[in-house]
Amino acid sequence: MEEQSLNSSASTTNGLFAPAEEAAHARTWMCWASTQEIYGPSTSYFESVQETLGRIAAAIAEHEPVTMLAAATDHELVQRLCGPKVDVLDIATDDMWARDSGPVFLKSEDDQHALLDFNFNGWGDKERHANDNLVAIAIAKALERPHIRASIVGEGGGVEFDGEGTLILTDSCWVNDNRNPGMSKAEIEMDLKAALGVEKVIWVPGVRDREITDGHIDGSIRIVRPGLLVTGGFSNDTTEWGLALAESRAILAKETDAKGRPFTMVDIPSAIDVRSTHHDFFTGYANYYVGNGAVYTPQFGDSSADTHAAETLGRMYPDRQIVVLDVDRIYENGGGIHCVTQQEPL
């Protein structure tokens, strides 16, 4: 297993790029929620978070291989909650956000593979991450594939790419001194182009200091396929979140992708009449996950919004089954299905 540092010429030299999420997967990687202190004093609540995570893993494993990372002491519990189709690998974790702590998987046109490590630092040292910081290199070692350490700090949930040269991201989580102190947007863009093998970077504003990720792109804007986007938020939202999303849509409406295609945007409004009363409950549908043969999306108890989201995703992914899951415990903690998964390309 090789380790290298990525500079601005490395992706050109190696021909590596991040394939689109809808491209065929070899596997989905997930991380076990192992630290009760993160979730408060209630043991029963923490157990329900773990049960929900296991339910997601089991659902995905019906369509493709899934590996859950967990310390050996948790393996019996993990296997019981995830079911027999989910593999368990002895890699210790702090929390479940595999999209952010895990690597971004890269490949080349001649089928070379490598794992990109964005140096996870707990979203700017907001959360414990001693184990999660090592997840990317641990997976690379397990797969015996090259481990590439980026020259910047960030998370997989902070990038949205189409596999054809286009990258969309928020400046709030990248041009931020809690990740990349003193770096300009131009410097970060150069490093991201090298790291992900993209040609065009489109910046949208995001929101700082209002939640743990500083406004990850995968909570509000997703690439369905080149030129087609899903956006999600509340209608007529005049909060800081709503204004940032409106500005993002306006920017994207005037932009084209790396191949010169204009963007079509389809909005899926967030749920309003929901089951959960948790103060951090995230009710957006954009944070879905595209797997082999299926799209995994939440339902929040708002029957109208839930049905509209599932039907809209069904039209956009006509070749995939839409799997609707009750995963409130994940969304109560600031993330979603996309946040707890990371795809490895075939």
Nearest to 268 by CA among 322, 313, 324, 223: 313
Per-residue HEC secondary structure of 143-164 comes to HCCCEEECCCCCCHHHCEECCC
pLDDT digits (tens, 9 = 90+) for 287-307: 999 999 999 999 999 999 999
For 232, the domain range is 3-345
CB atoms closer than 10 angstroms to residue 83 = 16
pLDDT of residue 200: 98
3-state secondary structure of 296: strand
> Under a CB-based contact definition with an 8 Å cutoff, are residues 152 and 124 in contact?
no
Alpha carbon distances (Å) from 133 to 2, 95, 120, 125:
18, 11, 5, 11
pLDDT digits (tens, 9 = 90+) for 147-177: 999 999 999 999 999 999 999 999 999 999 9
Main-chain dihedrals φ then ψ at residue 69, nearest 5 degrees: -85, 135
Q: What is the pTM of this model?
A: 0.95
pLDDT of residue 12: 41
Over 50: is that where the pLDDT of 57 sits? yes
Q: How confident is the model at residue 235 (pLDDT cuts 50, 70, 90)?
A: confident
DSSP symbols for 22-88 = TSPEEEEEEE----GGGG-S-HHHHHHHHHHHHHHHHHHHTTS-EEEEE-GGGHHHHHHHH-TTEEE
Look at the block and give the residue holding tokens 């069904």: 314
Main-chain dihedrals φ then ψ at residue 328, nearest 5 degrees: -55, -40
pLDDT of residue 4: 66
Main-chain dihedrals φ then ψ at residue 175, nearest 5 degrees: -90, 75
342-345: strand order across its sheet:
86-90, 66-70, 25-31, 342-345
pLDDT digits (tens, 9 = 90+) for 8-54: 334 443 799 999 999 999 999 999 999 999 999 999 999 999 999 99
pLDDT of residue 8: 38
**Stretch 134-138: mean pLDDT:** 98
pLDDT of residue 2: 61
pLDDT of residue 3: 64
pLDDT of residue 280: 82
* Mean pLDDT taken over the chain: 95
Over 60: is that where the pLDDT of 146 sits? yes
pLDDT digits (tens, 9 = 90+) for 191-233: 999 999 999 999 999 999 999 999 999 999 999 999 999 999 9
Percent of the residues in the chain that have a pLDDT greater than 70, as a whole number: 96
d(CA 56, CA 337) in angstroms, rounded, equals: 8
> Under a CB-based contact definition with an 8 Å cutoff, are residues 210 and 240 in contact?
yes
CATH number at residue 112: 3.75.10.10
**Stretch 320-328: mean pLDDT:** 97
Number of domains in the chain: 1
pLDDT of residue 11: 40
pLDDT of residue 63: 98
